[in-house]
Structure formats: structure tokens, C-alpha cells
Structure 1
Amino acid sequence: MNKPDLLRQHLLEALPDLPPERLTLSIGQGRTAIVQSATLSFEYRYSLTVTINDFSGGLDTIMVPVLAWLERNQPERLRQPAHEALTFEIATFDTGQTNFTIVLDLSETVLAEPREGGGYTLTYVPEPDYDPGFDNVPDTARLQTLALGDETVF
């Protein structure tokens, strides 16, 4: 599966003050969808749990890069009416540090093509090319300032 590593890389680039050891990703509720056909192609479906420990920033600081990543890597999550793109939990401590847990439902399609002489070539199928919902957000976007109304939060 490619998406967990892609999200890890994206978050570490978007949140340069986040030490890599405070970011953990784990896969749960994994399943495989397959339709009987001429190939053994299949789709991974799983929940990816992203945990950021001892973070001094707010949830918004994390949410914006996650949503930007979803836009490019699981775009249908943001295009379904009344669909929850993700779930989250927050634990705040007296030290001012916070643990954030975000759970994303993801899928990855794998094309399995037989090779001459035996075996298979596996190819991860790219996501459909939707019109971007965040036209003005570049792939390298980093949250530098966050404002709620007239108040600068971050």
C-alpha cells in the first residue's frame, strides 16, 4: 500500500516543526475487494489511523494539510454529499501538549497482470483526475498562518 507513506511524507513536509517520531500511522479494518474477472486485480480498503503526539499546535494546523492530501489522493471523500471525510479524537494535557488521532477511510486499486513465464506485475492505479476543489492550493502548501475571523490563531 502506498498511501500511508505518501501521507506521512506530506504531513512532515507541511508541518516542519513536527518531529517524525511523534507521527505514527497504522492500518486497521483492512479488507480486499475483488470481482471475479480475467485478472486477479483487487482493491485494498482500510482505515488509516494517524496519531500525532505531544503537539503544541491546534487541530486546524493538522486538518488543512490532511484535507489537501485527501483532495489529491482520495478525492471522492470530499465530493460525496453529506459524507464524513474523516473522524478525529483529541486528548489535551496540563502541559499544553495535545495528542491528535485522525482516522481516514482509504482505498487503493491494484492491477495484477500476468507475466510471461509466470508471476504477476502489480501496478497501483492512480486516483481519477477530478477537477481540483482547491484550485489555489499548490501541492507544496504549508500552513503558515491561520485566522478565525479577525483573530490570528496560528
Structure 2
Amino acid sequence: MQLLNALIEHLRRTVPALQEMPNRLSAQVDEGRIRFAPGASLSQGYAVTAALTLHAYDDTLDAVMLPLLAWLSRYQPELGPEPGLRFAWAFAGEAPADLRLWVPLEERVVARHDCASGEITLDHRQPAFAHETCPAEHWQLLLRDDSAGDEGYRLVAEWDGPLA
């Protein structure tokens, strides 16, 4: 799925814990559905729930969720609160723990027939929905932290915006 690959690449680029060690993120799809309309068209849609695991994650949840939500709002804006996103984080005392995320995704595949040549061409669609009311070129995520000194916030993630 091209959409899942794009999400993985986005998280590896935007989540600080993955920037230096991108192999700490793994993904799998346990079950997917194919949405199609019976008839002459072979166009379809792949609907999956991607299971993402950030291995040995010990940073704030916000450093993952905000980049994830920013990406979803651009590429999956129809995703509503149900089924929404789910996560699990198995803490093991002071040691880093695996963070699991379940993210519903839908990818459209448009099939075009050329009866003369006998060719069928496929286009995987990943439309980006413009929604930026504040299209900054670079974003920083700051989290209130009383131990951060005078500013009261610490930088937990940063990434380039869609217009960069």
C-alpha cells in the first residue's frame, strides 16, 4: 500500500526518536478489505487498519501523535472519531516500552481499460486535501514542562510543513 508507505516515511522524518533510528518503527496489516462496486470497472479501494509499533519508545506521546494527526488531516481527512485511532503502550518500569498504534487507512485505486490495446492501467490515489489555515514551512511542537527553565516549554518534535 502506497499510502501506508507514505505514512511510515512521514513518521520516520518527523518523530525525533525515529530520525536517528528509523528501524525502530515497524508496521503490519493483519486484515484488510477491498471496497469495489460490482460491474465493468476494476477500480477499488484498499481499507486497512495499519498496526504500527515504535520499539523501545521512551519519549512523550505528543511527539508521535501531533505529526500523525497532521498527516492524517491532510491525507485521510474523512477519518472520524470512530473507529478513530487506538494505541497501547506497555510500560516496563523505567525501561523504554513499545508503543503500538492502530491507524485506519483507505487508498483508492483507479483502473482504466484500453479495449484496443488490452491494457489496464492502475493509479493509486493519495490525494492531499488542502486545509492549512496556517501554512508554515517548518513546525515545532513545544510541550509545557516546568523543568524547562524560564520558557516553561521544551521542544519535543519538529518537521517541515506541506509547503516546505
Measured after TM superposition, the shift of residue 128 of structure 1 is 6.9
Q: What TM-score results when the alignment is normalised by the length of structure 1? A: 0.82
Runs of 4+, deviation exceeding 6 Å: none
Measured after TM superposition, the shift of residue 35 of structure 1 is 0.4
1:38-73 alpha-carbon deviations (Å, 9 max, x no partner): 311011111101100111202111111110110111
Aligned mates of 2:135, 2:152 — CA distance in 1: 22
Query: What secondary structure is seen at the aligned counterpart in 2 of 1:75?
Result: coil
Aligned-pair RMSD on alpha carbons? 2.5
Q: What TM-score results when the alignment is normalised by the length of structure 2? A: 0.77
Q: 2:133 corresponds to which residue?
A: 135
Asked whether the 8 Å contact 2:36–2:43 carries over to 1, the reply is: yes
Q: 1:103 corresponds to which residue?
A: 102
Query: What secondary structure is seen at the aligned counterpart in 1 of 2:78?
Result: helix
1:6-48 alpha-carbon deviations (Å, 9 max, x no partner): 0111011102432111100111221111102331101111110
Unaligned runs of 5+ in 2: 157-164
Query: What secondary structure is seen at the aligned counterpart in 2 of 1:106?
Result: strand
The percentage of counterpart residues that share the same residue type is 27
Q: What is the total number of aligned residue pairs between the two structures?
A: 148
- Structure number with larger C-alpha Rg: 2
Aligned pair partner of 1:39 in 20, 38, 41: 41
Unaligned runs of 5+ in 1: none
Aligned mates of 2:22, 2:31 — CA distance in 1: 25
Aligned mates of 1:67, 1:96 — CA distance in 2: 27
Aligned mates of 2:47, 2:33 — CA distance in 1: 5
